[in-house]
Amino acid sequence: MFANDSTAYIIGNSTASISIQIQELLHQLLTWSKLNSMFIHPVKPEVMFISKTPFIGPNRLISIDHKPIIHVSRSSCLGVKLHNKLNWAPHIKMVTSNFNAKISKLKQMKTFKHSTPESIYFKGILPSVTYCISQWGSSNLLADLKDLHIHAARLINNINISTPKYEGLSMAKWTSLHFMYKRRLTCIACQAFNNLAPDDINNLFTKHRTPYNLRDNLKSKPSYSSFKANIKKFS
């Protein structure tokens, strides 16, 4: 019996402390797998340290069942290409290539009603492009993706190619990829504010209490009579 692929992560201040925690976690995983008659693939496990700053010194040996685990600088997790320096160029390149191939298929649907290719685009194509956009959407490498999104708007809505880029989106009544990125961040912030996001995200936000009586902090609605009394008082 084989377990599905899974990912564990550790956050720490140094590679040494992270390596120790990972090794302890792997011992627990190995014990659990043996108790449940599960098998850990001897080749698939890999370790990647993610940081903007370079690591100093050799990586500590990490093993499972006395078999060393390789250290990698690039990997894929749930369909997202990760880089140990948080460089999103490989992932965006993959998304752009797949996006372009799918849009080219829409050219074969010119004889269909307008609603058909547009529905396919928004329900089947665009979600695969904006997947995890909150992670990589701030990258300055999105020019090609933005152009492809505009190209799809022109293609589906029969907009003249000479029309300026963002006017084409307005004519099609579509939102830009940058707007989708900001909307996703807003949703995450709202979830974190209401403690509906994972704890690691909730802890990134700090709520400050204000002494001012804001609109949303009114304990009782002012009555109309008191409102008229205040008007007479200051008239």
Asked if 117 and 223 sit in the same domain, the reply is yes
If you search the block for the tokens 């909307």, which residue do you land on? 183
96 and 67 in one domain? no
Residues 128 and 197 occupy one common structural domain: yes
For tokens 């204000």, name the residue: 210
Asked if 205 contacts 189 with a C-beta cutoff of 8 angstroms, the reply is: yes
Calculated CA dihedral for residues 55, 58, 62, 67, nearest 10 degrees: 140
Bridge partners, residue 76, by sequence: 81
Same domain, 176 and 209: yes
Strand 74-77 to strand 80-83: parallel, antiparallel, or no bridges (unpaired)?
Answer: antiparallel
Please indicate, yes or no, whether residues 19 and 125 belong to a single structural domain of this protein.
Answer: no
Same domain, 225 and 114: yes
H-run or E-run covering 203:
none
List the domain range (segments joined by +) for residue 189: 88-234
Cβ(82)–Cβ(75) below 8 Å: yes
Question: Do residues 144 and 180 share a domain?
Answer: yes
Which DSSP category does 107 fall into?
G
Look at residue 134 in the predicted model and tell me its pLDDT. Answer: 92
Same domain, 66 and 176: no
Q: Rounded CA gap, 92 and 148, in Å?
A: 13
One pLDDT digit (tens) per residue for the chain, 235 residues: 344 677 888 888 888 889 999 999 999 989 998 998 888 887 888 999 998 887 777 788 999 988 999 999 999 888 899 999 989 999 999 999 999 999 999 888 877 888 899 999 999 999 999 999 999 998 788 999 999 999 999 999 999 988 888 899 999 999 999 999 999 999 999 999 888 988 888 888 887 776 666 665 544 455 555 555 554 454 4
Do residues 65 and 95 share a domain?
A: no
Structure tokens given for 95: 């998304």
Measured CA to CA, the distance from residue 146 to residue 174 in angstroms comes to: 12
Same domain membership, residue 150 and residue 46: no
Q: What is the pLDDT of residues 109-131, one digit of tens each?
A: 877 888 899 999 999 999 999 99
pTM over 0.85: no
Domain count, the chain: 2
- Whether 102 is in a domain gets the answer yes
